[in-house]
Structures are given as structure tokens and as C-alpha cells.
Amino acid sequence: MSVMLKSLRTLADPTRMRIVALLEQEELSVAELQEITGMGQSRISTHLGLLQDAGLVQSRREGKRAFYRRSERADAPVRELIRLAGAGAMELAEHADDQINLKRVLALRQAQAQVYFNQVAGRFDRVYGPGRSWQAFGHLLLRVLPPLVVADLGSGEGLLSELLARRCRKVIAVDNSEKIVAFGAAKAKKNGLKNLEFRLGDLQNPPIPAHAVDLVVLSQALHHALDPAKAIAGAHRILKVGGQIVILDLRRHQFEQAREVYGDQWLGFAECELDRWLQSAGFRQIDISVVAREEAPPHFETLLAGAVK
């Protein structure tokens, strides 16, 4: 089979077009391609093998990882095919998400502090140290938190709100359940937390004036919202200029029972969804990463997203 015919047949698959379009822009590892496309390792590796066999991509090794890029050894006709494949990929439904995820993955490469944190976190549970716990670390971090005005949206009974109130200037906890709001308010009063206020309200339209808070927290609340994009836009409205939003929520999963067992509206979110909603709301300096993975089935993963107004 001629090189041209083999290349044409290889590029006829939409998934391989997506991969070629990405590798035309940046050299990427298999793990990074997984992160961008949402496909499994074996599937990515199979497509890369076919592309490499056709002379469309090339690879290099760096330690245990292999990085792939557009072939620099291809002749002019094949290079033109690669260019056309990249143009064709722009017509695919997945292209916009691929570009968002590519930008995010490249940003994560630069986040050396995050890499260091992951290494520390990976060692934390393996080496016992008396008195050393995530609970203790959490209190340490709260001590260095500046005295902010915080909105905890979808607060529930207010566990996080109570912790924040021990340091922040004021915490406004918003929930849509009258019973939960009453319970949280009574508990805050009992604990002497005068700077913690519970308000009954909708996650998508919080009962807080515009430009009133320094920080908005959505901790495992967004997947209960009827319209997550509207909830993020509502958070943007109540933030001061320069204020920050922090979202802690589940990564997209397939555990359908969560709708019935936990009352979830959404089965988590893809990174590109959060990125798109944050951008649409007007946020900048968006940073999204996986910060936890559960070992037990259904292996929930937790996303941490941050952005600035």
C-alpha cells in the first residue's frame, strides 16, 4: 500500500483526526491526551500506534513517559494531509472541548507547585507521623486565611461555614432548605459564631447583594443545581472585583444511582464544562485540576476549580 493511501485511510477516523489536530499544536503524552479527550489509555495508545505506523506522528521517551508530536519526517504531500486533518477536526463536535482541555493541560504543566503538592499528598498516607492529619493541616491553613467576607453557597448544615467563620470576617451560608437553615443558624448561635449568617435562598440566585463578598465557595453543591451555569453566573454577580470563586465538586462519572441515593441533579462535571461556564460568566485566571480519587468503587474523583472576577 502506498504511503499516501495508508495515510488517507488512517486519517479517515474522526478520533485520529482529533489526535492529529492536537499534536499539530503541541507535543503531548498519552496521559495528557487522555485528560484532553476523555478517552481511555488503551484506546489512545491504539490510535497513536496506527498514526505512528502511517508516519503521521513520531514519539520520544522521557523517563517512563512517551511524548508524541506531528511527524517531522513526513514528505510534503503527507504534511498537507496532516494540515487538512487538523482543519477537518475543527468541524467535529468535540473540537471546542479539546481546545479548552488542551489549554488547561498546558497550564497544569507550568504549575510546579501543584506537582509538588501531589507528591506530598501521595506520601502523606504512607508515612505515619504522630499528630499529623489532614484535619490538623486544614486548621493550619485556616489560620493563615485573610479576614474575608465569604459566601458558602449550597452550604447544607454549614460544616465548612463554621470552620471558615472561625477566621473570616463574615460568612454567609446559603441553602434552599428551611429546616437546614434553621438548624445551621441555631448551631452557629450555640457556638457563639456571630459572624456566621444563614440565609434561605436559591443556589442560582443567592440572596446577597452584588459586589458584596470576597470569596464564593461551592463545595459539593453545584451538582445539585438545576442550572450550574446560572449558579456560577450568580456567584460572579455577588463577588467584588478581584474576588475569587472556588468550586469543589465531582468529576463526571457514570454512577447513575447517585441521582436517587444522593439526590444529585448532575453526575459530576467535565473540566471543559466548568471552564466554559466560568469563562462565560466573566471569570479569568481559571485553574481546574483533579485533587482526589477514591479507591473504592465507584471511584469518584474530585475537581477543584478556582477563578478570579
- The 10s digit of each residue's pLDDT in 212-249 is 999 999 999 999 999 999 999 999 999 999 999 999 99
Query: Looking at residue 120, what is its pLDDT?
Result: 57
Statement to judge: residues 153 and 192 lie in one domain: yes
Statement to judge: residues 92 and 232 lie in one domain: no
Statement to judge: residues 142 and 44 lie in one domain: no
Sign of the torsion angle spanned by Cα atoms 193, 197, 200, 205: negative
Statement to judge: residues 293 and 237 lie in one domain: yes
Statement to judge: residues 76 and 168 lie in one domain: no
In this structure, what CATH number is given to the domain that contains residue 104? Answer: 1.10.10.10
* pTM reported for the whole predicted model: 0.71
Statement to judge: residues 57 and 198 lie in one domain: no
Statement to judge: residues 120 and 62 lie in one domain: no
Based on its alpha-carbon atoms, the radius of gyration of the chain, rounded to whole angstroms, reads 23
Statement to judge: residues 244 and 127 lie in one domain: yes
Statement to judge: residues 25 and 106 lie in one domain: yes
Statement to judge: residues 99 and 135 lie in one domain: no
What is the domain extent for residue 69? Answer: 3-110
Statement to judge: residues 48 and 177 lie in one domain: no
Residues (pLDDT < 70) of the chain are: 1, 110-134
Cβ proximity of 269 and 232 under 8 Å: no
Q: What is the average pLDDT score of the chain?
A: 89
> Domain end: 47, 77, 110, which one?
110
Cβ proximity of 273 and 225 under 8 Å: no
Statement to judge: residues 224 and 291 lie in one domain: yes
The count of domains in the chain is 2
